[in-house]
Amino acid sequence: MTAAPHTVDAAYARFAAAPLLRLVHGPAYLNVGWHPAPDPPAALVDHLLAAAEGTAATWAPRVACDVACGRAAGTARIAARWPDARVLGLDRSPAMLPAPRPGGPALLRADATALPARTDSADLVCAVEAALHFPTRRAFFAEAARVLRPGGRLALTDLLVDPADSGWAPLVPAGNTERTRAAYEASLAAAGLRVRHFADVTAHTWTPYVAALTAAAAAAGPAGAGAAVARLLAARPVAAYVEVVAVR
């Protein structure tokens, strides 16, 4: 069994329209975010891009692909960090993609396992909180390795979950079983990618996000709304929220 694309797309469309989630995420993102920060979703992207850059401040991508870019707010942050780069925002769902802005990143409909980029053409591939939905992570890792130049970097944040858990089953393909660092690194290695940074950042992401969402529900809704949200999230246990950079 795999998660049907329309099921994932429909779920994110509901998330985008939910007033409570808009209150927590803001209007531009659908991401858990980095906490504490004035703008947690933007801070999450910035933290990932800093990890991709590493200590070599002179490194800068010439071509960058933001996969499953959604509303493309993260894509815009990539373009702002490296203004000389050609940046592509890619998402499978046309309903999620905003209209491109003049002079801004190109925004294209594309599947994560069939990227519209030539082999050995990109320096950076990013995916924020999306790889768990791809059928499968390994297929995406292989496609990222294909489009990356030698020395190019894959940077992603990801949630390690059990796809058999009832809360995740509709949204996560059964093959995405990586729940440990060793398993994740093995899947990357199978695609020819070497891990240079792997961090469990659950304490800065998923844990405070659940707390913020529960608090917002309790404040905005009727009595018991926070508990209802907490029960919903409890049905989607997360083994770890990770930040990863791998090199081809």
Burial 11-31 (b: 16+ CB within 10 A, else e): ebeeebeeebbeebbbebbbb
For 112, counting Cβ atoms within 10 Å of its Cβ (0-12 exposed, 13-18 middle, 19+ buried), the class is buried
Tokens 């979703």 locate to 41
Delineate the domains of the chain, giving CATH numbers in brackets.
5-18+56-200+237-247 (3.40.50.150)
Cis ω for the linkage preceding 27 (within 30 of 0): no
Q: Give me the tens of pLDDT residue by residue for the chain, a chain 248 residues long.
A: 345 555 776 666 666 566 666 666 666 677 899 999 999 999 999 999 999 999 877 899 999 999 999 999 999 999 999 999 999 999 998 888 888 888 899 999 999 999 999 999 999 999 999 999 998 999 999 999 999 999 999 999 999 999 888 778 788 999 999 999 999 999 999 999 999 999 999 999 999 988 887 787 777 665 555 555 556 666 688 999 999 999 99
At which residue do the structure tokens 């939910």 appear? 18
Query: What's the whole-model pTM score?
Result: 0.90
Asked if 44 and 34 touch (Cβ cutoff 8 Å), the reply is: yes
Q: Tokens 């069939």 map to which residue?
A: 114
For the stretch 104-150, pLDDT in tens is 999 999 999 999 999 999 999 999 999 999 989 999 999 999 999 99
For residue 191, the 8-state DSSP code is T
CA distance 139 to 18: 31
What are the DSSP E strand ranges found in the chain?
A: 63-67, 86-91, 106-109, 122-128, 148-160, 194-200, 240-247
Per-residue pLDDT, 222: 59
Which residues does 176 contact at the CB level (< 8 Å), separation at least 6?
A: 131, 132, 134, 136, 137, 163
* Six-digit token string for 220: 């905005």
- Tell me the C-alpha distance between 168 and 224, whole Å: 23
